[in-house]
Structure 1
Amino acid sequence: MENKDLIYIYGVNPVKEALKVPHAVKEILISKSRLLPLREIIETAEKCLIPVRIVDEKRIQKIVQGVHQGVLAKVIPKDKLDLTDALKIPSQKREPPFFLILDLIEDPQNFGAILRVAEAVGVHAVIYQQRRSVGIVPSVWKSSAGAVWHVNLVEINNIKYAIREFKERDITIIGAEADGGKTLWEASLNSPIAIVIGSEGSGIRQTVRELCDEIVKIPMKGKINSLNVSTATSVLLFEVMRQRSLSV
């Protein structure tokens, strides 16, 4: 376990998911004006011998910014893997490697939504850069609906290092950009792959793009030729899952 200070997370779903993780939650604050809708969380916490404090809602509002839904939990930070351990996961699961690399995602809503999708489709690990990325801040826990607990995370100094490590292990690097050479439906996604998603404003950096083996795009029929980054990631990752389900 990483030796870090406890952090606050908020919102019904993130706290419920935290309660499923043994010894993760150290204390819960509940708004006294919302006792009835939060009864399930209170009862679960009491069964787990987790202290519950009933407080004025203003107390919670002073600690967090965002839609807290009247519940706040003090938890241990999420454990992160190093890249070496992450690379062992596919063989442990007897699956072809399926990784997601985030190139400087800065918006916590997008980051959280992406982690939620990554958990849903079975991504083996999400790799992101420590500097210039939003990281696992409380608002990411909220927007992920608690999926942060269930996704393997690799925080790294430079994602280009991870890409080179993947390539040495014959993992194909597929970047997603609007000007890709082929659509994701034309790409073969059954082999060992790592999908690279670029930032909200600039997409994949040129130095990262040069390391990709292939660039794919999502076909568009409408007048708006781009999607929100978390929406685009959803389309891409579910196409991977679809193709792999057909080959089983």
Structure 2
Amino acid sequence: MNKESLVFGIYPVIEALKAEQTIDKVFIQKDLSNPKIEAIVADLEKNQTTISYVPLEKLDKLCRSNHQGIVAITSPIEFVSLETLVESSLENTKAPLFLILDQISDVRNFGAILRTAECTGVNGVIIQKKGGAPVSGDTVKTSAGAIFNIPICKVDHIKDAIYYLQGSGINTIAASEKAQKSIYDLTLTTGLAIIMGSEGKGVSKSVMNIANEKASLPLLGEINSLNVSVACAVFLYETVRQRLQ
């Protein structure tokens, strides 16, 4: 993790919040009782910022300086609003393509997905404020800088974002190895949002239930699933293939 992405110590974190700096994730020492940190947590919760309570050793590993029990990861980018992303994409693109990441937690997968999304012309990536991989210096590195070339939107709830997209005429497709239809059976040339799920659980049931379509990939070997970044790449490049015809 780049040192430039870290803000540590009670007062530096307070000042970062006052300056409205984009904070992606905060680590707080477990079982630490401090009124000032409790006040910081209250502010962070209002903004739906991801908070992890970790052992002292984790904080010491993140930051060798006096962190006072709190370390924040700042984002290297500015996020766009869902409304701005969708409106600008519909204005400038005949059939916009969005990618929704439902709780992708591994920063390497996240970075690899962003790299593929940028290469396949995705108009924007939508993630949830809580629970996903942090947008940090490691994300920049694993995305090979693609993170700076693609709009990213953080939303309170993935389901609300899906409803908004559907109301804007965007078809939503959730990736699932249990789906009866293959991605190769679907038409992907209209306005589209592809939903990819977390590494362990896949797309959550509540999100799966409201997607317009579910789609799988043919798996011909003994292993019954693909790495999410690989699966995402196949979905995106099948979309590109259809659109280039």
**Residues 223 and 76 of structure 1: is their aligned pair in 2 closer, same or farther, counting only changes over 3 Å?**
closer
Q: Which amino acid aligns with 1:179?
A: K
**Residues 76 and 181 of structure 1: is their aligned pair in 2 closer, same or farther, counting only changes over 3 Å?**
closer
Quote the residue 1:226 is aligned against.
225
1:144 aligns with 2:143: yes
Quote the residue 1:110 is aligned against.
109
Q: Which amino acid aligns with 1:244?
A: R
Question: What CA deviation, in whole Å up to 9, does each residue of 1:126-180 have, x standing for no partner?
Answer: 0000100113022111110111100110011111111010111121110001011
SS in 2 for 1:222: coil
For structure 1, which segment, 161-170 or 105-114, has the greater mean C-alpha deviation from structure 2 after superposition? Answer: 161-170
**Aligned equivalents of 1:237 and 1:176: distance in 2?**
11
**Aligned equivalents of 2:102 and 2:172: distance in 1?**
13
Quote the residue 1:119 is aligned against.
118
Q: What are the residue-to-residue correspondences of 1:185-200 with 2, within 5 Å?
A: 185-200=184-199
Quote the residue 1:87 is aligned against.
86
**Aligned equivalents of 2:170 and 2:192: distance in 1?**
5
1:155 aligns with 2:180: no
Contact residue 117 and residue 234 of structure 1 kept, 8 A: yes
**Aligned equivalents of 1:239 and 1:126: distance in 2?**
18
Percentage of identical aligned residues: 36
TM-score (structure 1 length as normaliser)? 0.68
Contact residue 130 and residue 155 of structure 1 kept, 8 A: yes
Over 6 Å off, 4+ runs: none
Task: Measure how far apart 1:63 and its partner are.
Answer: 8.1
Question: What CA deviation, in whole Å up to 9, does each residue of 1:42-61 have, x standing for no partner?
Answer: xxxxxxxxxxxxxxxxxxxx
Point out where structure 2 has 5 or more consecutive residues left out of the alignment. Answer: 7-60, 64-73
Contact residue 178 and residue 218 of structure 1 kept, 8 A: yes
Quote the residue 1:18 is aligned against.
none
Task: Measure how far apart 1:95 and its partner are.
Answer: 2.6
More helix by share: 2
Q: Which amino acid aligns with 2:175?
A: A
**Residues 222 and 119 of structure 1: is their aligned pair in 2 closer, same or farther, counting only changes over 3 Å?**
same
Q: Which amino acid aligns with 1:155?
A: K
Task: Measure how far apart 1:7 and its partner are.
Answer: 3.0
Task: Measure how far apart 1:76 and its partner are.
Answer: 8.0
Quote the residue 1:180 is aligned against.
179
Number of equivalenced pairs: 178
Quote the residue 1:164 is aligned against.
163
Quote the residue 2:71 is aligned against.
none
Quote the residue 1:14 is aligned against.
none
Quote the residue 2:15 is aligned against.
none
Contact residue 89 and residue 124 of structure 1 kept, 8 A: no
Contact residue 175 and residue 195 of structure 1 kept, 8 A: yes
Quote the residue 1:211 is aligned against.
210
Question: What CA deviation, in whole Å up to 9, does each residue of 1:36-88 have, x standing for no partner?
Answer: xxxxxxxxxxxxxxxxxxxxxxxxxx989xxxxxxxxxx98312110111012
Alignment root-mean-square deviation, CA: 1.8
Quote the residue 1:202 is aligned against.
201
Quote the residue 2:5 is aligned against.
7
Point out where structure 1 has 5 or more consecutive residues left out of the alignment. Answer: 1-5, 9-61, 65-74
TM-score (structure 2 length as normaliser)? 0.69
SS in 2 for 1:135: coil
**Aligned equivalents of 1:99 and 1:203: distance in 2?**
18
Task: Measure how far apart 1:93 and its partner are.
Answer: 2.6
SS in 1 for 2:198: coil
SS in 1 for 2:89: helix
Contact residue 99 and residue 194 of structure 1 kept, 8 A: yes
Contact residue 101 and residue 194 of structure 1 kept, 8 A: yes
**Aligned equivalents of 2:126 and 2:154: distance in 1?**
6
Task: Measure how far apart 1:91 and its partner are.
Answer: 3.0
